[in-house]
Amino acid sequence: MKFRTNISKIDRCSGLSKKAFYNNYVKSSLPVVITDKAEWTSSEKFTPEYLKSNYNHLSKTIDGKIYSLSEIIDLCKASTPENKAPYPITFDALKDFSENFGGLPEILFGKSNRLNSRLLSNFFAKHTNKHELFFGGYGCSFPTVHFDWLGVHSQITQIKGEKDVILYSPDQTPYFYPDKRHHHRSPVDIVNPDYDKFPLFKNAKAIKTTLKPGETLFVPAGWWHTTYMHDFNLTVAVSHVNAFNWNFFMDELYLNTKIHYPKLAWMVKVYKVVMSKIFNLKESLVN
């Protein structure tokens, strides 16, 4: 995978054409904040009040206790760094909030998002084709530094509140001591690192960006990242696979299949080659 590491800040762009986005960011594996593609986030349908009155039938079990959506929103609104709301709390945006999210324009990171294709079976998509809606509050942060499972690109669109995203380029992987079985997660606590245990982490160079409502961050496949919230937060995350990260995605899928279904792993290798040709041909017909 190609990537550049000599960047010290993340670009913020509006009016970016599909071609410029693909050539300048996706192909170079560089994160970027797109500021003008999610005006829908200002709709009153995404206010905590609207969600509480229209979706209170939804619930989540947290530490053995069932919380209604209203209770979850109240927990997130009351969150402080000393008394944090549980995080992450996620829902399936398209299934649970179909009225709000159905039909919203998707930001394409290439000619298509192969995860949405009927050619990719659910066995291979492994639930990465969900739109995840995250609720959070002041002081919440993602529990581990990680790169997104199966080497997908991520679209993080901020709906409410502000969120810091801290990113590290993929060439810094050795500094994160990834777990052998779950190699997309790091055991390093980046806020209070144990340098005796993880001395190489001293070399890690982070880039931080802050997302505001209506802004979308493109996180290229393989970039390590975590998040920190400043207030009540509502964020939707969408995974993408295109020509650029297809091999990464299928190689990660192969490793995963080898662990869980060793006898079927060879199928993933064949599928990778055959489907790559089919997707490339199909996409060559798209402008």
As measured in angstroms, the least distance from the Cβ of 30 to Fe ion is 17
As measured in angstroms, the least distance from the Cβ of 285 to Fe ion is 32
Nearer to Fe ion, 148 or 252 (CB): 148
As measured in angstroms, the least distance from the Cβ of 29 to Fe ion is 16
Nearer to Fe ion, 186 or 242 (CB): 186
Nearer to Fe ion, 70 or 144 (CB): 144
Distance (Å, whole) CA 119 – CA 121: 6
Return the ∠ at Cα 227 (arms to 241 and 52), rounded to 5°: 90
Omega cis (within 30) before 86: no
Nearer to Fe ion, 55 or 154 (CB): 154
Residue nearest to Fe ion (CB): 148
Nearer to Fe ion, 148 or 215 (CB): 148
As measured in angstroms, the least distance from the Cβ of 48 to Fe ion is 24
Strands 32-34 and 11-13, bridge-based pairing: parallel
Q: Which residues bind Fe ion (CB under 5 A)?
A: 148
As measured in angstroms, the least distance from the Cβ of 171 to Fe ion is 18
